[in-house]
């Protein structure tokens, strides 16, 4: 049901748009049913499915996206979780934005329930576990697209050229979290333009997932790996200190230290690669966000 509804919400956006599309569906840990096969066959017969694959054991969300991206042939990659529904004019807005601003990546507003109102970019709180807090207030009066440091990845678009150039998602994350600060801040460190259009929205279901989320061991490791890759050892230790004090996973400091050592070992070589190609350090980037008035 989830993938079918997500695709149909895309199809509603494409009606009379003049835009071409192809769908790449990675069924990632979801149970396959007769309905699944019927829906995918229908889309395939319509010439809309470029690739479909199923995995009983789920990959991490970024690994699933990275896997699917290898089958894409279009100018843009639009990534959607299968619990997201697009609001009207999503692709129309995106097409206008890429033409006008020439950005490399584009996010939109996110509604967890329509009656609650949307949230927009992330306000960086890297000292609190190397992530951000969703802003309920858009920049520029909520009418114009604006540059950002980071936003959610439930529904966003990136140019294929940019995604390939920056190496897409790193394959070291397992389970939940880490990929949003990793990918968006990597874009910034490599001088890529990241924007948010407050009038390009989606609805994002926040119920149960097929994987552990906050306060799991994977979550802690992923956030420390993201911190190490993007900011270095100092930021990894800051994330460690925050997680020791704040998480509810029952880890004592000794166990959390072991997880940090695992994170350091796993991410060491990728962190060295990013240091060799980045334009500046994270500290310099944070100052640049302020100077250029990039929402952060």
Q: Which residues contact 94 (CB under 8 A, 6 or more apart)?
A: 76, 78, 106, 108, 157, 197, 200
pLDDT of residue 29: 65
Per the listing, tokens 């959607």 go with 80
Question: What SS3 class is residue 205?
Answer: coil
What are the φ/ψ torsions at residue 210 (nearest 5 degrees)? -85, 20
What are the φ/ψ torsions at residue 93 (nearest 5 degrees)? -60, -45
Tokens of 104: 């490399």
**CA–CA gap between residue 153 and residue 79 (Å, rounded):** 8
Does 144 score more than 90 pLDDT?
yes
Confidence of residue 78 (pLDDT cuts 50, 70, 90): very high
**CA–CA gap between residue 198 and residue 200 (Å, rounded):** 6
Q: Which CATH number fits domain 2-204: 3.40.50.300, 3.40.50.1860, 3.90.550.10, 3.40.50.720?
A: 3.90.550.10
DSSP 5: H
pLDDT of residue 160: 97
CA 81 to chain CA centroid, nearest Å: 9
pLDDT of residue 235: 96
Does 249 score more than 60 pLDDT?
no
pLDDT of residue 8: 86
User: How much is the average pLDDT of 38-60?
Assistant: 78
Tens of pLDDT, residues 93-141:
999 999 999 999 999 999 998 888 899 999 999 988 888 999 999 999 8
State the sign of the Cα–Cα–Cα–Cα dihedral 266, 163, 219, 126: positive
Does 1 score more than 60 pLDDT?
no
Start-to-end CA span in the chain (Å): 35
Q: What is the dihedral of CA 40, 43, 44, 45, to 10 degrees?
A: 120
Bridge partners of residue 134, in order along the sequence: 122
**CA–CA gap between residue 58 and residue 26 (Å, rounded):** 10
Max CA pair span of the chain: 59
pLDDT of residue 185: 98
State the sign of the Cα–Cα–Cα–Cα dihedral 198, 204, 210, 213: positive
Per-position b or e across 190-204, b if 16+ CB within 10 A of its CB: bebbbbbbbbbbbbb
User: How much is the average pLDDT of 237-265?
Assistant: 85
Confidence of residue 252 (pLDDT cuts 50, 70, 90): confident
Residues of the chain with CATH 3.90.550.10: 2-204
Yes or no: say if 97 and 147 are a contact pair by the CB < 8 Å rule.
no
Contacts 24+ apart (CB under 8 A), 16-20: 17/91, 17/92, 17/95, 19/91, 19/95, 20/74
Per the listing, tokens 């309920």 go with 136
pLDDT of residue 46: 79
Tens of pLDDT, residues 191-204:
999 999 999 999 98
Choose between 32 and 110: higher pLDDT: 110
Tens of pLDDT, residues 198-247:
999 999 887 665 555 566 888 999 999 999 999 999 999 999 999 888 76
């Amino acid at each position: 049901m989830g993938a079918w509804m997500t695709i149909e919400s895309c199809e509603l956006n494409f009606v009379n748009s003049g835009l071409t599309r192809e769908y790449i569906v990675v069924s990632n840990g979801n149970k396959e049913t007769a309905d699944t096969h019927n829906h995918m066959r229908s889309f395939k017969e319509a010439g809309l499915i470029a690739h479909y694959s199923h995995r009983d054991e789920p990959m991490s969300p970024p690994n699933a996206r990275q896997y699917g991206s290898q089958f894409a042939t279009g100018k843009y990659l639009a990534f959607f979780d299968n619990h997201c529904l697009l609001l009207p004019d999503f692709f129309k807005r995106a097409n206008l934005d890429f033409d006008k601003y020439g950005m490399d990546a584009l996010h939109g507003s996110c509604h967890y329930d329509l009656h609650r109102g949307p949230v927009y970019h992330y306000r960086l709180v890297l000292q609190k576990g190397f992530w951000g807090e969703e802003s309920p207030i858009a920049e520029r009066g909520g009418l114009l697209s604006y540059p950002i440091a980071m936003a959610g990845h439930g529904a966003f678009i990136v140019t294929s050229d940019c995604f390939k150039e920056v190496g897409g998602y790193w394959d070291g994350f397992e389970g939940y979290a880490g990929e949003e600060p990793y990918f968006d801040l990597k874009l910034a460190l490599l001088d890529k333009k990241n924007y948010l259009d407050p009038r390009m929205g989606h609805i994002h279901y926040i119920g149960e997932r097929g994987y552990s989320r906050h306060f799991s061991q994977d979550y802690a490791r992923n956030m420390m790996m993201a911190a190490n890759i993007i900011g270095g050892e100092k930021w990894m230790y800051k994330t460690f200190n925050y997680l020791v004090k704040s998480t509810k996973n029952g880890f004592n400091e000794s166990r959390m230290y072991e997880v940090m050592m695992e994170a350091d070992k796993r991410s060491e070589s990728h962190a060295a690669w990013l240091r060799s190609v980045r334009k500046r350090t994270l500290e310099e980037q944070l100052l640049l966000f302020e100077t250029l008035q990039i929402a952060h």
